Each structure stands twice: as C-alpha cells, then as structure tokens.
C-alpha cells in the first residue's frame, strides 16, 4: 500500500518536473556519445553560457504566465547593451549608476509594451512585434553603427568575478531564479498571475486587478531582460546594437516552453524553466563539439519548441 | 435571425465608414511622401514602388484570410526564403526548372497546411505556430545555404522579376492576377463567405455541418501557396536567395493588412484593401529610402505605425461593439 503510494508520489513528481528529467537524459546522452561533453571545462562553459538565457527565460515566463508573450525581448537586449556601452565609454559614468540606468531603460521598454497591452488592449504579440522594430531602430540610431569594445575593468568586475571556480553570473542567475520562484510560487501575487492565466474572467470576478498585474509583469520582465543584457554585454566584452535580435527572443521563448511553461498561460515552474535554458545550451554544445553546421541550432530549436508546443496543447486538451 | 444579423452588420458598416478612412490614410501618406521628395513622383519610381509592393501584396492575401479568422500568419518570411532556396538547390542538381518551381510552390503549400494542422487540429495558438514554423524554415534555409546566398537561377526566370510586357512589369501582372483571384475567391465564392462566417461566429459553420478545422487548414495552405509565389518572385527580382532577404516581409505583410483595415479581432477585411495597404507600405519604405534614411529608421517608423493603427482599430471596433450591444438592448426593450 505505502509503496504504491510512494510510487504515485514519485510518478507525479516526475510528471510535474519533466523538463528536469529531460535535462538529466540530455546530459547523460551527451556524456555517453559526445566526446569531451562530460569534461569539467565543458560543463562550466555550458553553465556560463546558460546564465543569461536562464535570466531571459525567467523574464519571458513572467509574461507568458498571464497568457501574453514578448517578441521584443531580443531587441530590449540590443538597446540596453548599446546604451550601456555609451554610458560606460563615452559618458564615463560610474558602473553602478550605469547598471541602475540600464535596468531603468529595460523597465521603461517593458512598461511601454505593458501600457499598449493593457490600456489599448492590443494583442501582446502584435505590440511587441511592433515595439521590437522600434527598439532596434532606436538601438541603431543611438549607436550610429558603432560598437564599443574593451569595456573598463571596474564595470566588468560586476560580472567577471568567480566564486568556487564558478562564474558569478551563474550565482546571479540562481538568485534571480530564487526570487522568481518566491514571487511566482510562494507569494499571493504569483497565485493571482497564475489564476489570470488559467481563467481571466473568473479572476476578474474574484477581484484580481488584471490590467495592473499584467502591467507589472511587463515591467518586471523588462528589468530582468536588461539585467540579462548587462551580463551578456560583459561576457562578450562588447556593447553592440545587434547583441540580441529576434533569434534571442526565440531562444528565450523556446527555453521557457521546453521548461514546461504553457503559452496559453497559467502553468509555470521556475526550476523547470532553468532546466529548459540548460537543455538548449546542451544542444548548442553538442552542435559545437560535433562540429555540425551551426545554423542547425536554430532549426533544431524550432523543432524542439514544436514538440513542446504539441505536448502542451495535448495536455491542455485534457484540462 | 440571419436577416437581422445581416441588417445590423450593414448598419454598422455604413455608420463607421472605415474603408474610406483607410484609403484616405494611404493617399495622405503617399501625398506627404510626394510633396517631400522631388524624385518620388517620377514614373520609373512609381513603377518601382509597385514592383516592391507586389512581394508584400501577394503573401498579404493569405495573411488577410488568416486574420479574418482571428488568426495570423507570421511564417511568410520563412516561406519566402525557403521555397526559392529549395528551387535553386534542385535546379542546380539538374532537375528541369519547371519541376523545381512546382516543387517550391508545393513546399509552400505543405508548410501552410502544416501550420493549419497545428492550429486547427492540435490547438496551438496561430501566431506562435506560424512564428515557430517560419523560424524553422529560416533555419533550414540557413543550413542549406550555409548562412550565405545561393545563386544560379536560369535567365528566363530572372527576366520575370525584372522584365515587363507592354510596359507593365511582370511582377505587377502577377500581383494583379493573385490579388484578383484572392479577392474573387473571398468575396464571391461560398468558401470565401464561410471564411468570414468563421471569423464572425464559428458556431454558424458548425451548424451548417461544415468543419471549421478543415476550413482553417485550407486557409493556411492558401497562405503558404501565396507566400511561395511571392518568394519566387522576390528571388527572380534579386536573382539570388539569401536567408535574410525575406526578413522584413513578416511584419510588412501584417502591416499591409492592418493598414488596409483588416481587424485583429477577426471577421472583417478584404484582399483589395490589403493590397492597397501593401502599396502604402511600399510607398512609405520607398519615400524613406529616397530621403536617405537608414532601413532601421524605416523600421522605427513602421513599428510605430503598426502599433498606432492597431490601437485605433481596436478602439474603434470596441466602440462599435458597445454601440451594437446597446442597439440590441434597445431593440429588446422596444420588443
């Protein structure tokens, strides 16, 4: 009796955290069949590369949870990266002020998206498709087609340090994940957001302020995306107007969807999202190690998100 | 019942009078451009605008149909590069060109049908299904072309994009034929009417004993067909295939439909208006080009324009709906 109950508990835990299981399977396959995949250096590399996508994927999750989407993520990254470069190199502002201003720029971009989605009630994908174009335009205008190499050391120190031989960006990502987990899984606000995603009408009747909540998620997401952009800019040591782009938005959505976030809203699991980001970086690492055509990455990501979408749709049909 | 629905529809179409507003916006944009730029009104430049508009207008037919059913098609940019890439690779492999072109169009149709199946049968949201399939096709195009451009189309084919007959460029003739076919199909055939019915009220289609799923799959299939034709046309204009040459069309097609007054909320929109919208978008890009503005500034303008028009459209539609509701309430009160 108790053993079968235990089995059920384990089974449901596995079902709820399927992406983590997939991650373990991916890593195991990689260790068995891909040479050098299992080396410590490669794992460290994957962790380092996955830090920024994990943050952006959590940022995306905040928006996806209410059934909206942000296709402009990659372009927020571009705009923040180039403004960061200008503030550091040309204006020579102190690093912490730069970081603060960058986060504000991200929040402002998110707030603009959020305003159009909530006040004008335009579908979020069309708002962010349009605002994405505006943001790239702005990034190019501001940059005048230059990029800023060799950022000053005191700025790079923000994300350059290592703790226990792990890059500090990994800890930043973990911190963001922890905060997001608390907000989405343990706080009332998170429960309201999930309720909105599952059934907006019922939530409105229950007194949840839909517009305010959606607007706040867009602002939070913009800020997190800006943070992710700072991490990426420091990692490549170059502020450029085409750092993110549409491929980056696609990567963030893919990571979130593979991580079990439903595009119809309401279903979310932060640890699984992080696993999703790690899974796509594992795939990228395979492609790099096996020396395959790098352009396969996008196609494989597309097919992976397609499988995840179909699985999600079938799950929703049961619901 | 049917009659009263029709009557209220006619009533509000007359009241809102938006098609006129739409056309005025387009004309105003063109006039503003012409007034600003000396070279804009030259005959050769106007022909150029029309030539650029053709690649936007043709896929916009499919996007219009998708938008009428409350969906959208963002896979246009993927098909626009993937179809000609397959064509050129097959042709270089020694297949006769006629068969290659047929294959390219078939690939477009297949991609569209796949979109339709994902949307109608599996239940994936239209914008995400088409966005993902477009990205996959873009990725596959990159893989095939190794990230660069591929050339080697036969000479006769590139003549289509750049040549003309009786002074009218082939591109425009093809656009006219496609738009006319799409407009007639949507406005005059019973399947076209069913598409509007599906957008307004899905239950009507079910009551008629028809399958909305099959209709949706067919709509996205048609969209894929037109995108493939536009892709071939673009390649024949440029006589090459580069994975990024289709990028701007994803948004341009949606923008053309929106400028043409197709509602994001479904149920309304015509192919002719979308084609006019396409001409408007092409004219705008051309004017900004003549002004010497960078393409990114064009993106800025276009992005703002899309958000602005959709916001206005949505607000108008909402007011219309509120009026309609109060109209019905008054009717019910008066018996």
The three state secondary structure string of B139-151 is HHHHHHHCCCCEC
**Chain A residue nearest residue B78, CA to CA:** A299
- The pLDDT assigned to A226 comes to 93
Task: Give the Cα separation of B115 and B111 in Å (integer).
Answer: 6
Is residue B159 in a domain?
Answer: yes
Is residue A54 in a domain?
Answer: yes
Whether A319 has a pLDDT exceeding 60, the answer reads no
Is residue A273 in a domain?
Answer: no
Chains A and B: how many Cβ contacts under 8 Å?
A: 129
Q: How confident is the model at residue B243 (pLDDT cuts 50, 70, 90)?
A: confident
Q: How far is B87 from chain A (nearest CA, A)?
A: 19
Task: Give the Cα separation of B254 and B281 in Å (integer).
Answer: 10
Mutate: best of A70, A130, A253, partner B, most B CBs <10 A: A130
As given in the structure block, the two tokens for residue A297 are 């990455």
Q: Which domain, by its residues, includes B118?
A: 48-327
Q: Which residues of B touch A120 (CB under 8 A)?
A: 310-311, 314-315
Using CA atoms, how far residue B50 sits from B47, B58, B165, in Å, is 5, 12, 15
For residue A240, report the phi and psi dihedrals to the nearest 5 degrees. Answer: -140, 150
Q: Are B304 and A134 an interchain contact pair (Cβ–Cβ within 8 Å)?
A: yes
Is residue A270 in a domain?
Answer: no
Size of chain B in residues: 335
Task: Give the Cα separation of B335 and B114 in Å (integer).
Answer: 49
Contact present, A223 and A24 (Cβ < 8 Å): no
Burial of B155 (0-12, 13-18, 19+ CB in 10 A): exposed
Is residue B41 in a domain?
Answer: no
Q: Given the structure tokens 């396969």, which residue do they identify?
A: A296
Q: How confident is the model at residue B109 (pLDDT cuts 50, 70, 90)?
A: very high
- The pLDDT assigned to B116 comes to 93
For residue B17, report the phi and psi dihedrals to the nearest 5 degrees. Answer: 55, 35
Is residue B64 in a domain?
Answer: yes
Closest CA to B277 of B6, B16, B67, B109: B67
Is residue A140 in a domain?
Answer: yes
For chain B, what is the mean pLDDT?
Answer: 82
DSSP summary character for residue A167: E
Task: Give the Cα separation of B226 and B83 in Å (integer).
Answer: 11
As given in the structure block, the two tokens for residue A167 are 């890059």
Q: How far is A158 from chain B (nearest CA, A)?
A: 32
Is residue B75 in a domain?
Answer: yes
Is residue A185 in a domain?
Answer: yes
Which CATH number belongs to the domain containing residue B188 in this structure? Answer: 1.10.3470
- The pLDDT assigned to B8 comes to 58
Closest CA to B59 of B73, B40, B47: B73
Q: Are B127 and A141 an interchain contact pair (Cβ–Cβ within 8 Å)?
A: no
Q: How confident is the model at residue A2 (pLDDT cuts 50, 70, 90)?
A: low
Is residue B28 in a domain?
Answer: no
Domain count, chain B: 1
Using CA atoms, how far residue B77 sits from B54, B90, B294, in Å, is 15, 21, 21
Contact present, A38 and A30 (Cβ < 8 Å): yes
ipTM above 0.85, yes or no: no
Burial of A314 (0-12, 13-18, 19+ CB in 10 A): exposed
Domain count, chain A: 1
Task: Give the Cα separation of A135 and A248 in Å (integer).
Answer: 14
Using CA atoms, how far residue A1 sits from A4, A8, A66, B33, B118, in Å, is 5, 11, 40, 79, 42
Is residue B15 in a domain?
Answer: no
A253 or A151: which leads in pLDDT: A253
Burial of B326 (0-12, 13-18, 19+ CB in 10 A): exposed
Which of B300, B301, B314 comes nearest A122 by C-beta?
A: B314
Is residue A237 in a domain?
Answer: yes
Q: How confident is the model at residue B11 (pLDDT cuts 50, 70, 90)?
A: very low
Task: Give the Cα separation of B199 and A198 in Å (integer).
Answer: 24
Would you say the C-alpha torsion B82, B85, B91, B93 has a positive or negative sign?
A: negative
Instruction: Dump pLDDT digits (tens) for B252-290.
Output: 898 888 888 787 777 788 888 888 888 888 888 888 888
Q: Which residues of B touch A138 (CB under 8 A)?
A: 300
Instruction: Calculate mean pLDDT across residues A17-21.
Output: 82
Whether B110 has a pLDDT exceeding 70, the answer reads yes
Is residue A221 in a domain?
Answer: yes
Contact present, A298 and A316 (Cβ < 8 Å): no
Is residue A31 in a domain?
Answer: no
Is residue B207 in a domain?
Answer: yes
Q: Are B310 and A122 an interchain contact pair (Cβ–Cβ within 8 Å)?
A: yes
pTM of the model: 0.84
Q: Which domain, by its residues, includes A92?
A: 48-245
Task: Give the Cα separation of A303 and A314 in Å (integer).
Answer: 17
Cα diameter, chain A: 70
């Amino acid at each position: 009796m108790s053993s079968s109950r235990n089995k059920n508990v384990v089974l449901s835990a596995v079902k709820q955290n399927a992406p983590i299981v997939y991650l373990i399977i991916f890593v195991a396959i990689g260790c068995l069949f891909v040479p050098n995949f299992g080396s410590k250096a490669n794992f460290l590399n994957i962790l380092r590369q996955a830090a920024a996508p994990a943050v952006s994927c959590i940022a995306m999750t905040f928006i996806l949870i209410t059934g909206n989407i942000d296709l402009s993520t990659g372009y927020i990254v571009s705009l923040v990266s180039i403004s960061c470069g200008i503030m550091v190199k040309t204006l020579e502002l102190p690093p912490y002020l730069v970081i603060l201003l960058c986060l504000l720029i991200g929040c402002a971009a998110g707030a603009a998206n959020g305003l159009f989605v909530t006040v004008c009630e335009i579908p979020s994908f069309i708002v962010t498709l349009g605002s994405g174009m505006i943001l790239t335009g702005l990034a190019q205008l501001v940059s005048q087609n230059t990029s800023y190499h060799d950022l000053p050391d005191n700025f790079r120190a923000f994300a350059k340090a290592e703790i226990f031989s792990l890059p500090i960006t990994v800890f930043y990502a973990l911190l963001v994940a922890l905060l997001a987990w608390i907000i989405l899984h343990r706080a009332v606000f998170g429960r309201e957001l999930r309720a909105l995603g599952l059934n907006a009408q019922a939530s409105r009747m229950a007194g949840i302020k839909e517009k305010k909540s959606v607007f706040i998620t867009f602002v939070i997401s913009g800020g997190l995306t800006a943070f992710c952009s700072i991490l990426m800019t420091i990692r490549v040591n170059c502020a450029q107007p085409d750092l993110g782009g549409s491929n980056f938005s696609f990567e963030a959505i893919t990571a979130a969807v593979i991580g079990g976030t439903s595009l119809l809203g309401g279903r979310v699991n932060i640890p699984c999202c992080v696993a999703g980001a790690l899974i796509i970086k594992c795939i990228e690492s395979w492609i790099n190690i096996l020396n395959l055509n790098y352009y396969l990455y996008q196609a494989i990501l597309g097919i992976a998100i397609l499988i995840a979408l179909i699985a999600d749709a079938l799950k929703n049909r049961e619901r | 019942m049917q009659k009263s629905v029709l009557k209220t529809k006619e009533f509000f179409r007359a009241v809102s009078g938006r098609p006129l507003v739409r056309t005025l916006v387009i004309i105003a944009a063109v006039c503003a451009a012409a007034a600003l730029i000396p070279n804009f009104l030259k005959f050769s430049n106007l022909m150029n605008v029309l030539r650029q508009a053709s690649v936007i207008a043709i896929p916009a037919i499919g996007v219009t149909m998708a938008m009428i059913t409350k969906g959208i098609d963002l896979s246009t940019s993927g098909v626009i590069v993937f179809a000609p890439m397959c064509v050129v690779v097959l042709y270089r492999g020694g297949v006769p060109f006629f068969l290659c072109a047929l294959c390219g169009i078939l690939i477009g149709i297949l991609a569209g049908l796949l979109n339709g199946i994902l949307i109608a049968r599996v239940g994936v949201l239209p914008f995400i299904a088409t966005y993902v399939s477009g990205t996959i096709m873009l990725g596959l195009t990159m893989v095939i072309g190794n990230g660069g451009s591929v050339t080697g189309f036969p000479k006769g084919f590139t003549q289509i994009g750049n040549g003309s007959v009786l002074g009218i460029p082939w591109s425009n003739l093809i656009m006219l034929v496609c738009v006319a076919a799409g407009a007639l199909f949507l406005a005059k055939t019973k399947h076209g009417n069913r598409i509007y019915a599906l957008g307004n009220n899905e239950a009507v289609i079910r009551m008629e004993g028809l399958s909305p799923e099959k209709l949706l799959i067919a709509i996205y299939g048609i969209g894929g067909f037109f995108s493939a034709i536009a892709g071939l046309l673009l390649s024949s204009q440029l006589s090459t295939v580069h994975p990024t040459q289709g990028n701007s069309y994803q948004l341009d097609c949606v923008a053309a439909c929106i400028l043409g007054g197709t509602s994001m909320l479904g149920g309304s929109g015509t192919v002719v208006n979308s084609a006019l919208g396409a001409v408007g978008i092409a004219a705008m890009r051309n004017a900004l080009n003549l002004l010497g503005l960078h393409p990114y500034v064009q993106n800025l303008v276009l992005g703002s324009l899309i958000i602005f028009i959709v916001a206005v459209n949505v607000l108008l539609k909402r007011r219309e709906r509120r009026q309609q509701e109060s109209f019905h309430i008054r009717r019910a009160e008066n018996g």
